[in-house]
Structure 1
Amino acid sequence: MSQKSPEFLKVLIAASEAEPFIKIGGLGDVAGSLPAALVDYFKEHPDLPHLDIRLVIPFHGKIQSSRFHLEKIASFPVHAAKSDIPANVSFCSDLPYPTYLISGEPLPVDGAVYDSNPIIDGKKFAFFSLATLEFCRLQEWIPDILHANDWHTALLPYLIRQRDEYKSLFENTRTILAVHNLPFMGGGTQAGLTEMGIQSSTDFRLPKWARHMPLPMGLASSDRIIAVSPGYAREILTPEFGCGLDGFLFTRTERITGILNGLDMKIWNPARDAYLVSTFTKLSLNSRSKNKEEILARLGLEYDPRTPLIIMISRIDQQKGIDYALKALRNLTERKFQVIILGVGDPVLEDACKTMEEDYPDRVRFLQRFDQALSHQLYGSGDMILIPSRYEPCGLTQMIAMRYGCVPVARNTGGLSDTIVDSTPESGQTGFLFSDATPESCEDAIERSLNAYINQTTWLQIQKNGMKVDFSWKNSAARYAHEYLALLNLSQD
């Protein structure tokens, strides 16, 4: 039964990274964009409680402090196994919601955001989680919703349900654990957790091997598990994608849902993108060809409007399917197309990309780097973008590509399945999907896209269909708001 909404709804989002402070991967986009989107959503719905949303992240040494107005507001001890560790909290007032950055000895100023040593990261994020809870206690600000993200903050829901000193304090707090990438569970961190005085889970539902890993510990304790797409929420319940936790997760099916990440529509806007030679909208797609012509000339490739340009903007690794995608492209070299690959990653696969360029110097370029400007330019130039991921929890690449009129050719998995429509141009087709992570399946989808490109009227319709889709954070914020209120048994009428 629903109850009357309170005057305030207190939400704390905890993450290991967040724009504009620090971004390593997609989590940084989410943690930086979702709070602001929620602020806007609640303002637009005056019938809802007043939202008091706050963000807390580690004060990583890589954060450029001079870019922000930061004020140290608290210092206190965090109790570890053998001694207390001082923690400091800095407050940032630059954003439309309060942001706190926690520092201390486990977060050295010269340390990486994510260390290659899992024990170091285990201690770092265990310290951060304990300090976050102590700060809430010190401020006498106890959230109604505690929204954690991935293994780095998954200890938060675990600690408030397992630690005696937190059980009563957070008794009325409801917890959400967002799963951005299930395989990354915090394996190898146990020694770091032990050093911080955190014991393994005794939950019999978890496999024994998972009881000392932060993500499974959090999954067993959270009131709600939110995967970053509906498709991924279904996939993690299967042996193929469940990473050995599918049996456990099946026992929590009623608590699992999926919400797509949103896209920053201001940053990714082809009508105003300063990186493009020629900006455009879905009503002026003819202007788009100037971008393709310029980038091909810059890279020493011949421009022919009849030759489609296939782009790949990706981390170069097995998960992203680069290995079999290259084989598929090689199998199709009798067809007319060009390829530009942008990214870094696995040295073996990077060498395979280099070999591809060496074997086909008149049609392939491999740009071995991360380049923000170039990624914008490729989205605004490519005719198709190949996304052959073996699994893809959500993915922003396909959303950006569609917004820029670049048609995705992608594996039918996770968030790719949720965002790409493979039907007919007349019924809303936005891209081409393939089922299996094999060269043959990928090859078939690429060939279908090449055939469709021949008919430019058809192709234009597919492009426009994709550009019409609203991938903004507004839709995602509405879903999260519903989950918050539902967890507190509040109505949203």
Structure 2
Amino acid sequence: MRVLSVTPEIYPLVKTGGLADVAGALPRALAREGIAVHSLIPGYPAVLGALTSVKTVHSFGDLFGGPAKLLDASAADLALFVLDAPHLYGRDGNPYLDTAGQDWPDNAFRFAALARVAADIGQGLLPAFAPDIIHAHDWQAGLTPAYLQVGPGRRPGTVMTVHNLAFQGLFAPEVLGRLGLPAEMMTMEGVEYYGQIGFLKAGLCFADAITTVSPSYAAEICTPENGMGLDGLLRSRASILTGICNGIDTEVWNPRTDAHLAAPFDAESLEAKRINTTALRERFGLAHLPDAPLFGLIARLTSQKGIDLAIAAIPDLVARGAQLALLGSGDPKLEAGLAQAASKNPGRVAVAFGYDEPLAHLMQAGCDALIVPSRFEPCGLTQLAALRYGTLPVVSRVGGLADTVIDANEAAIAAGVATGFQFGPPTADTLLQALHRALALWQIKGVWQRLQRNAMNSDVGWGRSARLYASLFKSVARNPAFAARP
């Protein structure tokens, strides 16, 4: 089976969040299930600079305002189609924002181009590559099923994966014609979303199957409270909606071999984890307090991530003898709040602003517990890495966090299955209660180490999830209503 994965980012070539990790790891896992994946990605400068074995397989005279080439290439053991369109992607800034942090004003056309080319490939653009399934990731690929809906010729099955329903790709209705979509699509049953064009809504309307990145999140987004205005549509399509938890790349996240660590370790050599704790304290300028539990937080600094709840908990944590190391960037007000907490608590609280992949690895290895206080979380990846490194997650009981961390209540501890701490609903008070439970168990070293070993033995890789995706892809491809055929 052949699958075309359509994604705006892919690790390790370009990354702004967890979508890139999924897009980079899932093809490798699917290969073990006998499914060959080619990933279609935009030709950002960083991507073009990393390519090997490059071959032009198609040229476009005018693709949304300029010439473009479709490249067949490879990089980082990934099979790629790269859309080399300098007028759309050849610019500084990140994939979605300019250097001032504002949305690129032509984002509608930049990602319509990606979806248009994906649909063209599905309809036979490349004789040597005819996908059975097109797997579209998030709003940036959301128009792919819509283009296939109105296009001629063959039509492969389509699977739309929602990584975060909060990001919907909304644009002015005036661009509909320039996107190459017919006026009759601008309805409630089509791409229209409260007077705007919704790229994600288009994918949800016209895909043959919908997935999101955890079972709990799949249920949550069908409710008015969490459906972001799309809950009615999602309830109407509930029969084709599936939640499949993400995994992490267990070769990238491996405490036995991780080059970013001060010392390797595993579940049978937890004493070596303390070497990383010492290194992390030195890196952050924290006091050397070997009897103090060291909590970590690695996140985008946004309200969704519950950073304000963590800030509110800092005085209590410090008063109880704990330390806190934080890594992230985002909302200036939240950054200021964290900076103030660090200045008030030198040696106890430290912050690194920005994103630093090596430091994130060292934090997962060196912290005793990781705080993930999200108000909603489709899946989450940091808690999976924390489990892998024996850093017990303290998570809000939402989405994928609830699905992947087993709360250390008395029954779960007695059964030998507890891997962390859950709290809910996500408030400052419930977070503090969970942190107090973690601090109490930290004092009982034997119990804490058993939880660490449970966590490190958790199945956080892609194997099970890849099998579920493979089964879904095969089911969609077998359906004669939309199976790929000449």
Normalization by structure 2: what TM-score? 0.91
Q: Aligned match of 2:147 in 159, 184, 192?
A: 159
1:53-132 to 2 correspondence within 5 Å? 53-77=37-61, 85-94=66-75, 98-104=79-85, 106-112=87-93, 113-115=95-97, 116-117=102-103, 119-132=105-118
1:282-297 to 2 correspondence within 5 Å? 282-297=267-282
Q: Partner letter of residue 181 of structure 1?
A: N
Q: What residue is the counterpart of 2:246 in the other structure?
A: 261
Alpha-carbon RMSD across the aligned residues, in angstroms, is: 2.1
2:14 is the counterpart of 1:22: yes
SS at match of 1:20: coil
Alpha-carbon distance between aligned partners in 2 of 1:189 and 1:16, rounded to the nearest angstrom: 21
Cα pair distance change 1:34/1:300, threshold 3 Å: closer
Q: Aligned match of 2:2 in 7, 10, 17?
A: 10
Tell me the alpha carbon deviations over residues 120-144 of structure 1, each in whole angstroms, 9 at most, x when there is no partner.
Answer: 1101111222223334533134322
Q: What residue is the counterpart of 2:169 in the other structure?
A: 186
Alpha-carbon distance between aligned partners in 2 of 1:356 and 1:396, rounded to the nearest angstrom: 26
2:27 is the counterpart of 1:35: yes
SS at match of 2:68: strand
Contact 2:173 2:195 in 1 (8 A): no
Alpha-carbon distance between aligned partners in 1 of 2:138 and 2:17, rounded to the nearest angstrom: 12
Contact 1:78 1:130 in 2 (8 A): no
Count of matched residue pairs: 466
Q: What residue is the counterpart of 2:126 in the other structure?
A: 139
Q: What residue is the counterpart of 1:350 in the other structure?
A: 335
2:473 is the counterpart of 1:473: no
Q: Partner letter of residue 58 of structure 2?
A: A
Q: Partner letter of residue 137 of structure 2?
A: N
Cα pair distance change 1:24/1:344, threshold 3 Å: same
Q: What residue is the counterpart of 1:458 in the other structure?
A: 447
Tell me the alpha carbon deviations over residues 281-312 of structure 1, each in whole angstroms, 9 at most, x when there is no partner.
Answer: 00000111111122223433332332100111
Alpha-carbon distance between aligned partners in 2 of 1:417 and 1:391, rounded to the nearest angstrom: 10
Q: Aligned match of 1:429 in 395, 414, 418?
A: 418
Unaligned runs of 5+ in 1: 1-8, 43-50
Identity of aligned residues (%): 33
SS at match of 2:211: strand
Unaligned runs of 5+ in 2: 480-486
Alpha-carbon distance between aligned partners in 2 of 1:97 and 1:356, rounded to the nearest angstrom: 42
SS at match of 1:380: helix
Q: What residue is the counterpart of 1:4 in the other structure?
A: none
Alpha-carbon distance between aligned partners in 2 of 1:210 and 1:317, rounded to the nearest angstrom: 27
Q: Partner letter of residue 433 of structure 1?
A: Q
Tell me the alpha carbon deviations over residues 82-116 of structure 1, each in whole angstroms, 9 at most, x when there is no partner.
Answer: xx753311111456563110122542412541133
Cα pair distance change 1:336/1:18, threshold 3 Å: same
Alpha-carbon distance between aligned partners in 2 of 1:288 and 1:111, rounded to the nearest angstrom: 39
Contact 1:62 1:109 in 2 (8 A): no
Q: What residue is the counterpart of 1:488 in the other structure?
A: 477
Where in structure 1 do 4 or more consecutive aligned residues deviate above 6 Å?
A: none
Moved more, 443-452 or 29-38: 29-38
Per the TM alignment, residue 65 of structure 1 is displaced from its structure 2 partner at its CA by 1.8
SS at match of 2:460: coil
